[in-house]
Amino acid sequence: MQTGTSPASTPNIGAHTESPSLLPRYLTLCYLALIVYASLHPFSGWRAPGISPLVFLEAAWPRYWTVFDLAINIFAYMPLAFFMTQSFGHHSGKPLAFLVSLLFGSLLSLTMESVQTFLPSRVPSNVDLLCNSIGSGLGAALSLWCGTRFFSWTARVQQLWLAPIPHLDYGLILIGLWLLTQLSPETLLFGAGDLRHLFDITPAVLYAAPSFFAMETGIIVCNTIAIGLVMRTVLATKGPVRRTLPWFFVAAILTRTLAAAIVVGPQNALVWLTPGAGLGMLIGGMVLALALLLPEPLRIALAGVSLMAGTVLVNLAPFNPYSAAALAAWRQGHFLNFNGLTRFAASFWPFLALPYLILLGRRA
């Protein structure tokens, strides 16, 4: 690796200086996609109700409601307005950015609630619209107050801990989305790219204990290598890579355990820790440790191969018998929205990560 002030290092410096302005845009687009998917999940059973999609605006205050319901709908739109205000603030000025974020969040909520009229599993609500609008205003106000300081802090962390590479913000978004997928207890540990629930495809391999054990182990091995090497791409070469990666996986496992405890029950918090999961993490961790010694181009290539192999295996594997109970628990109340969000991230994560690796491979 070159050091000093050689011409080859100039693009890397440029990547660092522009990333603070690009990160809010990436986060805005990503969060917008998640809101749309979560609001319209499960995208099935569309119907023509024969009434105006805006009739919910005339409804009276609901008879049954909880503070939790109101808080969820307020907090759901705060990040979108926070990121959007930062995205537009540098170009249009803070007051205009505040108004744009508030109006966009309110119109987005109005659109989502109106479209839910055509989904039998969703109920449009003027209370949700009001709470979403309040959340948009609070998020935009919070962004005006501390948004600049927050992204300045992220820029300093980036310079100290993260690699000065192009597309760094893209990589950070990928890592955040991958951690989000660990909140979905019905998916296999570290498993991503399962498209069968979207296209109603039956498993190619019927369930049997030996075959499920083997494929679960393979899926976890491939995904441990892939996400570990993706994480490695964003870490600074001189930083504490060996300490950061283990703690990253510890955070993922704790996230998985906490999600299972909340959704399925504390007694089932460690049900995901099957013999296949334990063996897969062990083998995957050993291979990852060796792969970190490879040159950068080989690491990126291995990450891509592992990513594709894990995606193929997860679409061939038999359904996890534990997923039915977990999925039933997810489909209660607001967990329906969150289940749609996490499954969306889990299903498409490999297809978002592969272009990132291709971009890095071209640079390497």
Instruction: Tell me the three state secondary structure of residue 352.
Output: helix
CA-angle at 229, arms to 225 and 233, nearest 5°: 175
The answer to whether residue 42 sits within a structural domain is yes
Check residue 302 and give its pLDDT.
97
pLDDT profile of the chain (364 residues), mean per 10:
39 40 82 85 80 87 79 91 86 80 95 92 89 95 90 78 82 89 80 80 72 91 96 79 82 87 74 88 96 94 96 85 56 54 83 93 75
CA distance 344 to 363: 29
Statement to judge: residues 189 and 276 lie in one domain:
yes
The answer to whether residue 143 sits within a structural domain is yes
Final residue before a domain boundary, out of 112, 135, 160: 160
CA distance 90 to 93: 6
- pTM flag (> 0.75): no
CB-based contacts of 154, cutoff 8 Å, min separation 6: 20, 23
Check residue 100 and give its pLDDT.
92
Statement to judge: residues 114 and 172 lie in one domain:
no
Final residue before a domain boundary, out of 160, 177, 204: 160
The answer to whether residue 9 sits within a structural domain is no
297 and 220 Cβ atoms separated by less than 8 Å: no
Statement to judge: residues 19 and 130 lie in one domain:
yes
226 and 287 Cβ atoms separated by less than 8 Å: no
320 and 188 Cβ atoms separated by less than 8 Å: yes
What six digits make up the tokens of 269? 């918090």
How many whole angstroms from its chain centre is CA 165?
22
CA distance 264 to 279: 24
Instruction: Tell me the three state secondary structure of residue 235.
Output: strand
Identity of residue 322: Y
The answer to whether residue 30 sits within a structural domain is yes
Domain count, the chain: 2
What six digits make up the tokens of 29? 């687009």
Check residue 337 and give its pLDDT.
57
257 and 325 Cβ atoms separated by less than 8 Å: no
Statement to judge: residues 195 and 296 lie in one domain:
yes
Final residue before a domain boundary, out of 138, 160, 182: 160
The answer to whether residue 39 sits within a structural domain is yes
Residue 133, number of CB atoms within 10 A of its CB: 22
The answer to whether residue 4 sits within a structural domain is no
- Whole domain around residue 81: which residue ranges? 15-160
The answer to whether residue 1 sits within a structural domain is no
35 and 80 Cβ atoms separated by less than 8 Å: yes
